Amino acid sequence: MYTVELNNVRKSFGTYVAVDDLSFKIAPGTMFGLLGPNGAGKTSTIRMMMGITMPDSGEVKMLGAPFTGSVLKRIGYLPEERGLYPKMKVIDQLVFIAELHGLSPAEARRRAQNWGERLEIAQAYPKKTNELSKGMQQKIQFISTLMHEPEFIIMDEPFSGLDPVNSRLLEDVLVDLCKQGRTVLFSTHRMDQVEKLCDNICLVNKGKAVLSGNLREIKKRYGHNRVQIAFDGQQNGHSLQGNPLASKVETNEGYISVELAPNASAQQLLKEVSAQSAISRFEVMEPSLEEIFIDVVGKTDA
């Protein structure tokens, strides 16, 4: 059973196709990254998972069954656009949303208090929402998403507006929840966070999945075609210019960065370079997700 299963989902608004033949699966207990540039169709995809809109064709399965409204009580959704009543007291707001999810007021209060202490925001509870900073509101919204202990948590840009300390606080919560067996979906274009947190990703562009699967495998698949070399002494990369193994050589402070030519292996390069000079560091670099993102999106846009 998958937490989410999308099969050939398509959604258009008038002539504009927001999601085009999209399929992916999210396994329980994993963190999944839904990536893509602005306007790629991430939010449209999430809205279909939440039953806010219906797909034109294709199938959306949630928690093992085709979408029904009753599944929503088991999902926590943090939308990208913040939604809190500006003039309502924070604690009343949290209790209200939790009650809508079926909790008793007493239980809602107890959980709100626990979360408030954990996220260091309980002191803001008696205030009105519009008296809080953006980051604080973000934390409150984050709590409201988790009050009913959902099995599946959707986070649309959860860390925007947060400083690194608070961002870290929320990350830890999500990692904990994931360890407890809950499934988390991130929708973001912040690659560093995805790289740090996610097991699997799906990269969408213009409504289509352009890359999906296990993050480590994708990186491996994208190949290790970049090598960083640091030399003992003043030797620099000039000797590598024109070498058929290197298609591109960049000289940086203290090291050189080499892009391997097609069919060239890092081992061959190591042999050649070490024959010429003393090496203090030779490292095969994994491509960063950001590089992959830019590469893939660039290619599909072209």
Binding site for other proteins (CB under 8 A): 47, 50-54, 68-70, 72-73, 75, 77, 79, 81-88, 92, 96-97, 99-101, 141, 144
CB nearer to other proteins: give 19 or 211.
Answer: 19
Q: Cα angle at 202 between 17 and 16, to 5 degrees?
A: 5
Q: Name which of 183, 101, 188 is nearest 147 in CA terms.
A: 101
Q: How far is the CB of 129 from other proteins (least distance, A)?
A: 10
Q: Which helix (H) or strand (E) holds 257?
A: strand 256-260
Q: How far is the CB of 87 from other proteins (least distance, A)?
A: 7
Q: Name which of 201, 137, 216, 139 is nearest 173 in CA terms.
A: 139
CB nearer to other proteins: give 54 or 65.
Answer: 54
Q: Name which of 58, 60, 57, 55 is nearest 75 in CA terms.
A: 60
Q: Which helix (H) or strand (E) holds 59?
A: strand 57-62
Q: How far is the CB of 75 from other proteins (least distance, A)?
A: 7
Q: How far is the CB of 284 from other proteins (least distance, A)?
A: 44
Q: How far is the CB of 104 from other proteins (least distance, A)?
A: 11
CB nearer to other proteins: give 187 or 205.
Answer: 187
CB nearer to other proteins: give 61 or 226.
Answer: 61
CB nearer to other proteins: give 108 or 256.
Answer: 108
Measured distance CA(258)–CA(245) in Å, rounded: 9
Q: Is 277 exposed, middle or buried (0-12, 13-18, 19+ CB in 10 A)?
A: middle
Q: How far is the CB of 137 from other proteins (least distance, A)?
A: 11
What letter does residue 128 receive in the DSSP assignment? Answer: B
Q: How far is the CB of 96 from other proteins (least distance, A)?
A: 5
Tell me if 136 sits within 8 A of 167, measured CB to CB: no
SS3 172: helix
Tell me if 250 sits within 8 A of 233, measured CB to CB: no
CB nearer to other proteins: give 87 or 179.
Answer: 87
CB nearer to other proteins: give 101 or 226.
Answer: 101
Measured distance CA(149)–CA(185) in Å, rounded: 15
